[in-house]
Structure 1
């Protein structure tokens, strides 16, 4: 027969061993703590702060030491919801803030403040209202750096005893009321229109100045060109006159040749369509008389001399009659000159009439 007492004793021993093994495992588990990097652990011994655990493997006294929740030692970024703030000119604006802070002392962050995130939020709100309350809307919109600096200084001083360090405070958005936004947009639009009108006027002014300067330079250059052309033209005419004058004096023309040229020029005077009245000068009869006297003897040797009609002296004959008389005289002079040249021994060397 099986001994019941021995069997019960064996079962008891097995259960005891199992309990002891479980106890040992629990003790080992509660004694060993592994702290990850960038975290810190606060250890309390019998309810009192004992030490701060650093990252890595740490040993605790089981059932005596207690590890509080780990504290994140990295820099944290917290964005707070929009807060209504009243400016100096009694306008309500909504401001979003972003705070960058870091826990530098895990013990102070655990025991000096119950909830440091909520404390930082409330402190940021009150400080923001104090700072922005002393500024008008335009200053608040254009002085973000100044506001950020004041907030950071106040928060850093207040949170130093909590084991926190505030590195930066940024205003994410400043939203004025919709009516103010519409007014600001109209003002900005008017300012842009004013600047555009000023720029357009300045451009038009510069354009007109440049155009006037260009016209002035063109007129100056044109006047210089006309001056040079007039000078060159006058020099050319002077040289031509001088050449003609020298040629006339070198050729030594006599009165007969001059009278002949005078008769050749008279018909050209009447070619102008504006000639309504032509006065026959008294020199015409003298020229005809000189030619007749010069070549009369030579023409009688070759044949009968054509009778040259002597125009009657009138005070104002018609232009047609004058032209006809001049043409008749010119023809008579041409015939007399031809006959004279034919009878002259060196007729080929006679000086040709000037055109």
Structure 2
């Protein structure tokens, strides 16, 4: 089952009216037009009758219908007798009453849409749930109005379909681990699909990937086994390095008996340094150091 959850701030907010400021401006245009027409009529005809009042109201209504305001982020698609004429805005713009119509107000700001896929099967037949967020914007109001009926809904469904197809082509482990690659794949697919609608995709970000609990346990065991494998490989490499070093050292000791005896004494000293103990060795052990130790050290070693 698939699910699309549009963000509340992205639900065709740009196609609604611009706010109370536009209403106040329209009232002002109506009153000013009404006063101007009635004033001119009174100057020309000397009196204001019912016909002049009706005509003044009609002219004021037409003037109000002609003046429009688009906010900074809005673009308005204007049709003339049902055919595309121009894209107006932002700011003040005028239309010909009855002949021209405002077909759609398009919000050109960045929009965010959340979407997801529930229990979608991967290539290895594992059902997973994925939630993502899409950032996009309209750069061509004409195409968004004339090429697709509801471009906001179309983008949501296109993102949903692309996510489902991407999940179906990959394995569960690949979807869970290679999240950035999934983001890039979805962005590339959506860009090709919505480019003709005057829409650009800024980014696609996968937020949550939920795997079945049984699969999570299996993947956890697999990850632990992989870590143990890496640890053993590192240990074996360390042992290999140590064996190579010992091989080189053994060759040095083989060529120099005095160095080997000094190494033995060093190991003996290291074994008792931490504990402060005393090691008793036979006097014959020190006789082999006569040629490498000074007389004072030989006496001390023989005494011990």
TM bucket normalised to smaller:
0.5 to 0.7
- For residue 151 of structure 1, report the CA deviation from its aligned partner: 1.9
Give the SS at the match of 1:95: strand
Q: How far apart, CA to CA, are the structure 2 residues paired with 1:51 and 1:115?
A: 20
Q: How far apart, CA to CA, are the structure 2 residues paired with 1:235 and 1:172?
A: 75
Select 2:295's aligned residue among 226, 232, 240: 232
Select 1:23's aligned residue among 51, 55, 58: 58
Partner of 2:95: 60
* Contact persistence 1:52–1:107 (CA under 8 A): yes
Partner of 2:160: 125
Select 2:78's aligned residue among 38, 43, 62: 43
Q: Between Structure 1 and Structure 2, how many residues are aligned? A: 221
Closer/same/farther in 2, CA of residues 220 and 54 from structure 1, 3 Å limit: same
Q: How far apart, CA to CA, are the structure 2 residues paired with 1:151 and 1:124?
A: 8
Give the SS at the match of 1:120: helix
- For residue 153 of structure 1, report the CA deviation from its aligned partner: 1.9
The structure carrying a bigger strand percent of its residues is 2
Select 2:266's aligned residue among 218, 221, 225: 218
* Contact persistence 1:41–1:68 (CA under 8 A): yes
5+ residue gaps in structure 1?
1-11, 237-355
Partner of 2:217: 182
Larger gyration radius, structure 1 or structure 2: 1
* Contact persistence 2:120–2:129 (CA under 8 A): yes
Q: How far apart, CA to CA, are the structure 2 residues paired with 1:76 and 1:187?
A: 40
When the two structures are superposed, what TM-score results if normalisation uses the length of structure 1? 0.52
Closer/same/farther in 2, CA of residues 113 and 216 from structure 1, 3 Å limit: farther
1:258-337 equivalences in 2 (<5 Å): none
5+ residue gaps in structure 2?
1-46, 246-261, 270-284, 300-304
- For residue 90 of structure 1, report the CA deviation from its aligned partner: 0.6
Q: How far apart, CA to CA, are the structure 1 residues paired with 2:162 and 2:236?
A: 48
* Contact persistence 2:286–2:298 (CA under 8 A): no
Partner of 1:258: none
- For residue 19 of structure 1, report the CA deviation from its aligned partner: 2.7
